[in-house]
C-alpha cells in the first residue's frame, strides 16, 4: 500500500484506500502482459484450444447453391479404350482355347478366352471391327447377330494333337442382361489362329489384355 505524503494511514478515507489497492493490482497485470507471461495450466487457468480448420474434400466440389459442380458430377470413363485394331504377339506354346465365357460388368461386357497346353505359352491376338465376317480357309461368310461384328483372332494356338489339350468349338451361352454383346460365333482354328466373331449392338470402344495362371485373353467392350 502506498503512503500519501503528509497523511497518516489511520486517517485515509476508506474510499481512497480501495482506489489505491485497485491501482496497484492493475500495475501487476500490465507487467505480466509486457513480459509475455503465459498462464500455467497448474494455476487453474485453461489454455485456449486452437479452433479446428475445415479441410475441403478432394473428391467433392460445390457450386454457389451448395450442390455439386459440373466437373465433380461428370461420370468418368470406365477404362481407356478405342475402336482401333488391337494386336499382340504370341510366344511359347502352342495352346488350345478350352473355354469361352461371357459376362456383364459395370459399364462393359467381358469375353474371356481360356487357353491350356502341354508347353507353357503366352497367347497373342488381333481384334478389330469387320464389315465382312468370313471363315478362315474356306472364305465362307459367318452369320453374326448385331449391328457390328468384332473379329477376334487368338494366335499361338495349335490343334489338339499338338497341344495335348482338347479345344472348344462351341458357341458360349450368353447370360441375360448383356449391355452390348449380342452374339459370339466360333469360326475356325486355321494355321495357328483361333477365330471368333463377337456381334455387338454398336461400334463401341474395346480393350484387350492377357492374364495368366491359367492363360487367358480378355476382351472388354464398353457398353456406351
Read off the DSSP letter of residue 185: E
The class of domain 86-222 in CATH terms is mainly beta
The separation between CA 136 and the C-alpha centre of its own chain, rounded to angstroms, equals 39
Helix (H) or strand (E) holding 199: strand 193-200
Residue 77 DSSP code: P
What pLDDT tens digit does each residue of the chain (224 aa) get?
444 444 444 444 554 444 444 444 444 433 333 333 433 333 333 434 444 433 333 333 333 333 333 333 344 567 999 999 999 999 999 999 999 999 999 999 999 999 999 999 999 999 999 999 999 989 999 999 999 999 999 999 999 999 999 999 999 999 999 999 999 999 999 999 999 999 999 999 999 999 999 999 999 999 98
Which helix (DSSP H) or strand (DSSP E) does residue 162 occupy? helix 160-163
Q: For the chain, state the CA radius of gyration.
A: 41
**0.75 surpassed by pTM:** no
Residues comprising the chain, all counted: 224
Measure the CA–CA gap between 100 and 113, rounded to whole angstroms.
Answer: 5
Amino acid at each position: 500500500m502506498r503512503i500519501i505524503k503528509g497523511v497518516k494511514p489511520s486517517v485515509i478515507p476508506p474510499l481512497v484506500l480501495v482506489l489505491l489497492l485497485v491501482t496497484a493490482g492493475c500495475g501487476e497485470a500490465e507487467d505480466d502482459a509486457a513480459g509475455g507471461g503465459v498462464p500455467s495450466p497448474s494455476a487453474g487457468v485453461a489454455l485456449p484450444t486452437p479452433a479446428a480448420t475445415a479441410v475441403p474434400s478432394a473428391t467433392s466440389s460445390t457450386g454457389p447453391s451448395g450442390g455439386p459442380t459440373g466437373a465433380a458430377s461428370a461420370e468418368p470413363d470406365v477404362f481407356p479404350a478405342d475402336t482401333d485394331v488391337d494386336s499382340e504377339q504370341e510366344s511359347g506354346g502352342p495352346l488350345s482355347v478350352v473355354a469361352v465365357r461371357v459376362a456383364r460388368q459395370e459399364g462393359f461386357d467381358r469375353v474371356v478366352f481360356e487357353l491350356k497346353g502341354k508347353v507353357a505359352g503366352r497367347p497373342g491376338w488381333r481384334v478389330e471391327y469387320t464389315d465382312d465376317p468370313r471363315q478362315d480357309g474356306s472364305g465362307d461368310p459367318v452369320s453374326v447377330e448385331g449391328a457390328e461384328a468384332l473379329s477376334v483372332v487368338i494366335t499361338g494356338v495349335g490343334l489338339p494333337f499338338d497341344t495335348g489339350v482338347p479345344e472348344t468349338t462351341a458357341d458360349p451361352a450368353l447370360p441375360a442382361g448383356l449391355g452390348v454383346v449380342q452374339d459370339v460365333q466360333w469360326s475356325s482354328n486355321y494355321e495357328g489362329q483361333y477365330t471368333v466373331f463377337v456381334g455387338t449392338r454398336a461400334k463401341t470402344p474395346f480393350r484387350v489384355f492377357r492374364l495368366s495362371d491359367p492363360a487367358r485373353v480378355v476382351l472388354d467392350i464398353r457398353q456406351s
